[in-house]
Structure 1
Amino acid sequence: MPSDRYTGLAAVLGAIRNSADITQPLLVERVGLGRSVVAQRVAELEVAGLVVSDGFGPSTGGRAPRRLRLHAEAGYVLGADIATNELVVGVADLAGNLLDTRHRETDVVDGPDAVMGAVEEMAGELVEEVGAHRSLWSFGVGMPGPVAYDDGGPAAMPTMPEWSRHPTRQRLTDRFGVPVWMDNRTNLSALGERRVNPVAARSQHMVYLGGGYGIGAAVVVGGRIHRGAHGLAGAIDHVPVPGAADVVCRCGKTGCLEAVAGGAALARDGRLLAETGQSPALADVLGRTGRIRPGDVTEAAGSGDAAARALLNRAAVLLGRSLATLVNVFDPDLVVIGGGIARARAHVLAAIREEVHRSALPAVTRDLRIEPSAFDQEIAGITGAVEFALGELFSPEHLPTVLDARAGGTPDALVEERALPA
């Protein structure tokens, strides 16, 4: 268990990280520690090069207090957002500001060697570009399926059998020489949402529904991601949907939510609409490109295609019914709709809201807000991956290693802590 000293250091650093304009007197109010203790902790963080002065705040009668900020330029972190069919890798400073990203289409069924090879290549390019070789501090990775948070590896899944046996974390640690943390990408998208969306940041009880080719949910309880006993909470993609028992899911079972309402289901059913001539817009896309993607269904619906609109509405109703179960169980004050679902918000948001209010208990929906994600879904996961890496790095458990590294004048000491727990 972290000592009071490191708990206090982490609290002070966290308050500085999360405040654009903070002084030492304000820190005393925010973290609930005495003035002398806060002064000691600030001094330690300044000596370590993690905190620097940033001008002066307004005077209240005496000498103007110093403003403090995180020394964002002291180092870099990497992030990777691995979706079922695409991959985003980014590099950020210590404040979580994305400096550059790389995007590539991929397929997790190609296996971990192919996908992680692409991650290594893209991350290596970014490290080279920003000159982060000697100042790289950590790496956060979002996976397209559940992650067993207690041991830090992908959980065994019928849809990704090779991944559970692959030493993903160790491979990246060996390649980049920094601690690597992994989590479900939906959890990380929720973290990203809380970083950039003030409404989400204020919510203590939130459900984040993410969806691309798959579907996932993240649950925030008491202001923190609720991961369950093993880190597998929120996996609603393979819950059974009544009346869909004849639809085979990629997991091998039938009637799963993902199989009837996920992105892959939209692409499959959209292709059928194109091939049968029920959707002229999708038939045109299929003729030109030879394939149908979920985004094509959304674009067809936007152009007025009745069949595409009906397909999206059906998916929204099914999502709303499953979401109502989470609302009943966790009683959130906010539901955020993210991922590919958010891109189709004009066609699905009203139906999702209506179904949640119809299916959930009136007492839990009385003041419930159901809102689309507040930022670009292309960077939602990577923003969360970077925030995750920083949150773990500066946590009371791992901050001692960071401070030891800084005391040595170099972050190289982080390399010696390759076995840091998730």
Structure 2
Amino acid sequence: MRESTLRFGAQTDEVTSLLRVVNLVRMGEAQTRPQIGTVTGLGRGVVTQRVEQAISMGFLEEGDVGPSSGGRAPRTLRFRGESGLIVVCALGALHIHVGLAQLEGDVIAQAHLDWEISSGPAATLDAALELVEELLAADAKSRGSELPVWGIAVGVPGPVDFDSGRPVAPPIMPGWNGFDIRRRFEQRFDAPVWVDNDANLLALNERTNRQVPSVDLIYVKVGSGIGAGLVSRGRIHRGANGAAGDIGHVKVFGSTSQCRCGKIGCLEAEAGGWALVRDAQLAIDAGDDGLLARRARAGEELNPELIAMCAEDGDALAIQLAQRSAKIIGESISALVNMFNPKVIVVGGALASAGEIFLAEVRQRVYEHSLPLATRDLNIVVSANDVREPLRGGAAMVREQLFEETFTRWFADGRPTIAGLALGR
């Protein structure tokens, strides 16, 4: 790739128009030179120059001949999404899920490992990096060469200071407070790393699925814990420090339950998956003999997934637990609806897999406690619960950061590096 005369610094018209041309093709909003001219208002000569620059820098390439609107048919352009890879590492309370995505966002490989995040950051990141290395080795073998990593997303089940990439007092992640997650990945791949709360990655995946650039959306994850990702006009709303959407630790009126965070009466302590496991065990110890109790006594692990499955199968205890959780969560979500006025609420996570048993109760409470105007066009749906959701969301976050937030700082080098983005840290 040739050395470009376009360097970091002031936003010249030339730089701005070049980046816009690349992004128009990347997003599929324009695929030929005439289309670029129509969308941007740039003259034919300027469009030709910018396209040639983008091709010489390795971002675009010529495609097939497109349809003609009179005269010679134009050649299409395509973004070279195969030039690099995005690594996504989604850490959960009880698992590690990693994947590789192309620059267009398609997940091309993934791996999963049962793992307790309470094992601490060193051991957890060692295990995650080992899984990533295995995927990269397999990908390089299939291609015959190794592609560079352009960006890395790490999702964690706790509050994150997005600017620093460090968890802040995460209740279920002992030893992780203030830990520099970025450093481990940057040392290995010389690529920029973004760390975010796992609910935000899931919210980004839902935004991408809906293909509505300005959507207002809330993703509520109800697994072992409870969290929410907020999308406002198509952009993740993280708040001043990254704590936006952490509804798991709002106060439930009248609750005296001890939460894992150390406080009393948190939503998670009443309606989270771990709280339901606690209450289910108490009922089983007291003599409940339904399906859930029999499966637990037979040696199956009592967890949120088992409660959701037994609720779907008609177990009275599991249904009672799921509906009580949904009722309390629905009341908390209604406060978000009144303040945020979303178009869509997506409920995901282990307990949401109970389907309508859970979702119907959430809907009822939201509509009952929210303002009529705030719910007039509101859709409340359950997520597909695809294990690739956080991987796709992580890839979407990296693409957004690379091509919308930091592109001007690294594009002249052909691909992002730690040094290239250092100015923006």
Return the match for 2:158 from 142, 145, 166: 145
- CA separation in 1, counterparts of 2:209 and 2:305? 24
2:309 is equivalent to residue 306 of structure 1: no
What amino acid sits opposite 2:167 in the alignment? P
> Greater shift after overlay, 173-182 or 202-211?
202-211
Q: Partner of 2:69 in structure 1?
A: 60
TM-score scaled by structure 1?
Answer: 0.90
Q: Partner of 1:365 in structure 2?
A: 375
Q: Partner of 1:196 in structure 2?
A: 209
Q: What SS is found at the alignment partner of 2:152?
A: strand
CA RMSD of aligned residues (A): 2.4
User: For the structure 1 residues 91 and 20, does the alpha-carbon distance in structure 2 shift closer, same or farther, using more than 3 Å as the test?
Assistant: farther
Structure 2 counterparts to residues 398-413 of structure 1, below 5 A: 398-404=407-413, 406=414, 411=415
User: For the structure 1 residues 383 and 365, does the alpha-carbon distance in structure 2 shift closer, same or farther, using more than 3 Å as the test?
Assistant: same
What amino acid sits opposite 1:190 in the alignment? A
What amino acid sits opposite 1:55 in the alignment? D
Q: Partner of 1:14 in structure 2?
A: 23
Return the match for 1:234 from 245, 251, 254: 245
Return the match for 1:101 from 104, 110, 117: 110
Deviations 1:184-211 (A, max 9, x none): 111111111122234xx35522111122
Q: Partner of 1:76 in structure 2?
A: 85
Q: Partner of 1:291 in structure 2?
A: 301
| Residues 167 and 177, structure 2, Cα contact 8 Å, conserved in 1 | yes
2:294 is equivalent to residue 281 of structure 1: no
Deviations 1:20-72 (A, max 9, x none): 88333334455566655544433322222222222132211122232222212
What amino acid sits opposite 2:203 in the alignment? A
Percent of paired sites with the same residue: 38
| Residues 10 and 396, structure 1, Cα contact 8 Å, conserved in 2 | no
- CA separation in 2, counterparts of 1:212 and 1:78? 24
- CA separation in 1, counterparts of 2:235 and 2:404? 13
Q: Partner of 1:259 in structure 2?
A: 269
Deviations 1:241-282 (A, max 9, x none): 1122x2111001111111111121222223333333335211
2:227 is equivalent to residue 224 of structure 1: no
| Residues 64 and 76, structure 2, Cα contact 8 Å, conserved in 1 | yes
Aligned pairs, number: 412
Tell me how far 1:285 sits from its aligned partner.
Answer: 1.8
- CA separation in 1, counterparts of 2:14 and 2:197? 31
| Residues 409 and 420, structure 2, Cα contact 8 Å, conserved in 1 | no
Q: What SS is found at the alignment partner of 1:250?
A: coil
Q: Partner of 1:394 in structure 2?
A: 403
> Greater shift after overlay, 213-222 or 49-58?
49-58
User: Which consecutive residues of structure 2, in runs of 5 or more, have no partner in the other structure?
Assistant: 1-8
User: For the structure 1 residues 108 and 418, does the alpha-carbon distance in structure 2 shift closer, same or farther, using more than 3 Å as the test?
Assistant: farther
Tell me how far 1:352 sits from its aligned partner.
Answer: 0.8
2:120 is equivalent to residue 111 of structure 1: yes
| Residues 406 and 421, structure 2, Cα contact 8 Å, conserved in 1 | no
Larger RCO, structures 1/2 (Cα 8 Å, 6+ apart): 1
Q: What SS is found at the alignment partner of 1:364?
A: helix
What amino acid sits opposite 2:71 in the alignment? G
Q: Partner of 1:186 in structure 2?
A: 199
> Greater shift after overlay, 158-167 or 97-106?
158-167
| Residues 204 and 231, structure 2, Cα contact 8 Å, conserved in 1 | no
> Greater shift after overlay, 284-293 or 96-105?
284-293
Tell me how far 1:381 sits from its aligned partner.
Answer: 0.8
User: Which consecutive residues of structure 1, in runs of 5 or more, have no partner in the other structure?
Assistant: none
- CA separation in 2, counterparts of 1:420 and 1:142? 24
User: For the structure 1 residues 402 and 203, does the alpha-carbon distance in structure 2 shift closer, same or farther, using more than 3 Å as the test?
Assistant: closer
- CA separation in 1, counterparts of 2:352 and 2:31? 34
User: For the structure 1 residues 159 and 44, does the alpha-carbon distance in structure 2 shift closer, same or farther, using more than 3 Å as the test?
Assistant: same
What amino acid sits opposite 1:366 in the alignment? R
User: For the structure 1 residues 307 and 159, does the alpha-carbon distance in structure 2 shift closer, same or farther, using more than 3 Å as the test?
Assistant: closer
Return the match for 1:353 from 359, 363, 372: 363
Q: Partner of 1:414 in structure 2?
A: 417
- CA separation in 2, counterparts of 1:28 and 1:348? 50
What amino acid sits opposite 1:205 in the alignment? D
Q: Partner of 1:325 in structure 2?
A: 335
What amino acid sits opposite 2:348 in the alignment? G
Q: Partner of 1:123 in structure 2?
A: 132
